[in-house]
Structure 1
Amino acid sequence: MTRTTSAVARALERIDRLDPALGAFIELWPDEALAREREAVARRLPLGGLPFAVKGPSGIRSFAARRLLAAGGSPVGATSVPGPGAHWQTWGLGPHGRTVNPWRADRTPGGSSAGSAVAVAAGMAELATGGDGAGSVRIPAAWCGVFGLKTTNGLLPSPDRSGLASAGVLARSADAAEPYLRHMLDGYEPVTAPALPLPAVYSEDLGYAEVDPEVAAVVRAAVDRLVAAGTVRLLGREAALLDPVGAWTAIRGGAPDDPGAVRVRRENDERLDALLAGGALLLTPATPNRPHGHEGPGALYSTALTWVFNLSGHPAASLPAGFTGDGCPVGLQVAAARGADVRLLAAARAVEGALPAAPSPPPAPNR
């Protein structure tokens, strides 16, 4: 049995063995996935039957899923998303109960692309689709110790009428996410290694967020390592943005012309354009907090550092940066200019190359 023909079988075996404890999937399609893999191999399609997961019950109908299917991907199942009344509680619910963080079952994996992040982290899919309206790809990526990319708003079709949400992908690494972007974009140019060091601005809090000191220390240590390795050159620019909570809430609520929202959006757009001028990257923690318990984060906004880029439209990714002392993954967020998604992916690959390889989670505990 070749590696290509066995990839789906291996993924299904891991799902059967691990998912009762993790709760990442709400639907499985084993027979169809194996059949699609055989067809992809026989037709020599570029993805060769690559096993992937889709976000939520409607994920198989998304633009991203259709593109991956056409390229020879094999969807193994649909992943969990928040259930009724789960807004600030556990962010994934499926037939096995709540979706748990693969690193600590007493913590949430983040959301709303909860099951997608868990499936990738546990090796149950090689990549998974996601959608990001406030951090719904980057937060679970950060908390599950995987790579997550939010594409430039409007770059790919999205059913979200507010314009805040954009398509995204979760994978074990930026390199593993490359096939997604390659098959999403018409006229895609291969990712090439960027010139180093990468010009970048580092901000712990974007000028307004309250960040867990240990989370901030983990991300700062990763940034310092990037500077020492010659991967990043920090610029003397200060990120002093306006807190986007009111603007995001107004727009999501159907009031895009709210004067306060218009002012915050315009001001932050101008400041971000200045920060990212000349091809600079913006580096921040992906979340201000570590994974919280399934009861919810209390008064904290886990989205504090992510939703500003949903308002502005910039592409942004979360990369594994390390762990807190209690064993919780921490994400490094990297943002780039609008439309620079391919360049952001190339930068993320360079950053990954200078940081320690992200480990795999421990064996899933029994429920």
Structure 2
Amino acid sequence: MARGAALPLAGVPIGVKRSEGTESLQARRLIAAGAVPVGSTAVPGPGTEWKTWGATDRGTTANPRRPGASPGGSSAGSGAAVAAGMVPMATASDGAGSTRIPAAWCGVVGYKPTTGLLPARDAAGLTVGGPIARSVADIELYRRAFLGDGRHRDAWAVGRGRRPLRVAWSASLGFNRVHPGVAGAATRALGEWERCGGVEVHEARPALDDPAGQWRALRLRPPGDPVGGRGGRNAARLAELFAGFDLLATPTTPNPPHGPGGPGEAMSVGLTWLFNITGHPAVSLPAAVPAACGPVGLQLVAGLGADAALLRAAADYERRVLGPAP
């Protein structure tokens, strides 16, 4: 008797980001791996420039972890659906932080792959697909289903008798104003990981430039205009940093979840959009302790192509600090 193909996501219900639908490449690959789409997840509606919210014809998208607050965006409904336990995984996309921000504000996990592993969804090459999920193990299932079991650059491993990971910690990346409650929660989470023996944390002051102008300039490029020399000085400085450290850690957002009136002058993308320009893989994990200002994310960033190693580190943090996923 012929044996059926192995389906790593057989029967797993997923949400699908409304702006992508089931025809997006990542949705098609997940469905081919056995996943079952059960609903469309909300994205921002018209009327404002800020995208860290969601809306449908039934109203604004609620945050299951903080009543009255936004779930983030633009993958708002994906973050909310996973946090509410409706699905274990949902598709998202990230051009400036749109996967990582809702993961942070909803207290779940969001992963932006190294740019180039998945086809970009915009002419500027900034927006890449990725998942929001309840655990790092679910993120790893996505990676294997979408990218296969290929071996990425992997200069170190976690929990295999090697030295603790060297982590560079920067609350602001040198150009953000960070809410003290957000910085404090992320710092305590990272400190708990260090106390558990997983990492060595070193305060870093990377001489990085605010990428706002470059990000906007890239978005204004006409279709077909080649994108070359991306990252500039920031890319060079990050290369220097990753020559001495295994990971860079920051809060995922500089501000806590905002209310229905929007973020005000806070730039919710201030700690995420640099890595859309430089292409580095990044993951947002829940901070280990509740914060009075709301759910807070801890962002881990790894060297270019080190996605498998990044997720192993994230799994180690999850195991040592957060404990088993619910």
Correspondence for 2:191: 224
Kindly indicate whether the alpha-carbon contact (under 8 Å) linking 1:90 and 1:295 is maintained by their aligned counterparts in 2: no
1:270 to 226, 236, 248: 236
Task: Work out the percentage of aligned pairs sharing the same amino acid.
Answer: 48
Could you tell me how far apart the structure 2 residues matched to 1:351 and 1:84 are?
Answer: 38
Aligned length: 315
Matching of residue 93 in structure 1 with residue 18 in structure 2: no
Aligned residue type for 1:304: G
Matching of residue 122 in structure 1 with residue 102 in structure 2: no
Change (3 A) 1:89 1:264: closer
Structure 1 gap ranges (5+): 1-41, 361-367
Matching of residue 336 in structure 1 with residue 302 in structure 2: yes
Change (3 A) 1:334 1:44: closer
1:28-177 to structure 2, matched below 5 A, reads 45-88=7-50, 91-177=53-139
2:296 is paired with a residue whose SS is strand
Could you tell me how far apart the structure 2 residues matched to 1:90 and 1:180 are?
Answer: 24
Could you tell me how far apart the structure 2 residues matched to 1:268 and 1:347 are?
Answer: 24
Aligned residue type for 1:323: P
Relative to the length of structure 1, the TM-score reads 0.80
Aligned residue type for 2:281: P
Structure 2 gap ranges (5+): none
Q: Which consecutive aligned stretches of 4+ in structure 1 deviate over 2 angstroms post-superposition?
A: 42-46, 86-90, 186-196, 234-238, 261-265, 356-360
Q: Superposition RMSD on alpha carbons, in Å?
A: 2.5
Could you tell me how far apart the structure 2 residues matched to 1:124 and 1:289 are?
Answer: 27
Kindly indicate whether the alpha-carbon contact (under 8 Å) linking 2:54 and 2:61 is maintained by their aligned counterparts in 1: yes
Aligned residue type for 1:228: R
1:347 to 298, 309, 313: 313
Correspondence for 1:317: 283
Bigger mean CA deviation after superposition, 306-315 or 227-236: 227-236
Relative to the length of structure 2, the TM-score reads 0.90
Correspondence for 1:204: 171
Kindly indicate whether the alpha-carbon contact (under 8 Å) linking 1:90 and 1:98 is maintained by their aligned counterparts in 2: no
- Give, in angstroms, the shift of residue 58 of structure 1: 3.0
Correspondence for 2:254: 288
CA deviation string 1:298-340 (max 9, x = no partner): 11100000001011000001000033224x1000000001111
Higher helix content, 1 or 2: 1
Change (3 A) 1:158 1:264: closer
Change (3 A) 1:311 1:358: farther
Could you tell me how far apart the structure 1 residues matched to 2:184 and 2:148 are?
Answer: 40
Higher-Rg structure is 1
CA deviation string 1:167-205 (max 9, x = no partner): 111001111211100011144359974545111100011
